[in-house]
A and B are shown apart, each in its own frame.
Chain A
Amino acid sequence: MATSLLADIAIALTAKLNAETFTKALTVARIYDPEVKLEELAGGRIVVFPAEEESRAVDARNIDRRNLVLHVAIQAKLETSSDGDTEEIDGWLAYVDEVKEYLNRLRNMDEEPYFVVTGIEHRPAYSVRHLRESRLFFALIIVKVRVMWNMSA
């Protein structure tokens, strides 16, 4: 079945993240519906899902420049009591840093789909609302990807 470029990049990004070793051994999942139950977040989860796309024709070379945005969400129910939240959140933020550092230098030029990560944002760094209401760590990494697409290929 044909897949969209957004799906192709999400699949590739998920595979790249799963092939990398981080300090927390979480399996990255590709999803479309990001809703999750609080009770499913013990131990944490990291998910990739597409957010938006912008295409632009580049001159007359029959090439499209496609800018995609994908979201990488990290969510984890904090385990320790409220006294120990700070240390636990430090650990999750350090994990987010690892993922960001990896994504920020990611170039996929060896196999299709060819893409380059052109920038990332980390927003929110963590959700105060989720923390206060559910003792839940939530961080979102916004990944900006550029794909050069030859329309004559």
Chain B
Amino acid sequence: MTFADEFFAAVGLPVLEDQHGQVGVYATDAGEIAVTMIVSDPETRQLWEAELPVAVNRLDFLIEASRLVIGGQLFLPTKGHTISIVTEDYEEVYEVLAPGSDMDCYERVNVSGTWLRVHGKLISRSAV
């Protein structure tokens, strides 16, 4: 990570969040919290096994780490947490999951970790 990453996290992301952020519900076993986040464009990839493909819709959530607090406790994203967002037509639930088997379910955007890129996969979609 470079100075540009730190600058982007300190200056660029707050502006982006202000202009394009949306409120989602982040849920863990301990409870849930409404969090403002920047949502990336979705992409679809296929997960193959024994010639059976599973289409996985995934996207990333950029979240300021200090906002991940439930019951007064800061926490880090963990596999199995969920993030719910509402789009124009649907309520979508994403599970926090690594994009690939050799990756983590989140990354620090900058060295100091003030912003996190949380990876999610769509597990539920219902019309609103």
Contacts and interface: CB of A to CB of B under 8 A. Distances in A.
B49 A35 contact: no
Interface residues of B, number: 27
- Which secondary structure characterizes the binding site on chain A? mixed
Given A38-B122, A39-B57, A39-B125, A138 B80 contact: no
Contacts of B78: 82
Contact of A42 (B53, B57, B100, B123): B123
Given A129-B49, A130-B47, A38 B56 contact: yes
B52 to A, nearest CB: 5
Interface stretch (A3-11, A56-64, A73-81, A112-120): A73-81
B65 interface: no
A43 B53 CA distance: 18
A38 B46 CA distance: 10
Nearest to B45: A133
Contacts of A124: 49-50
Interface string A125-153: 00101101111101010000000000000
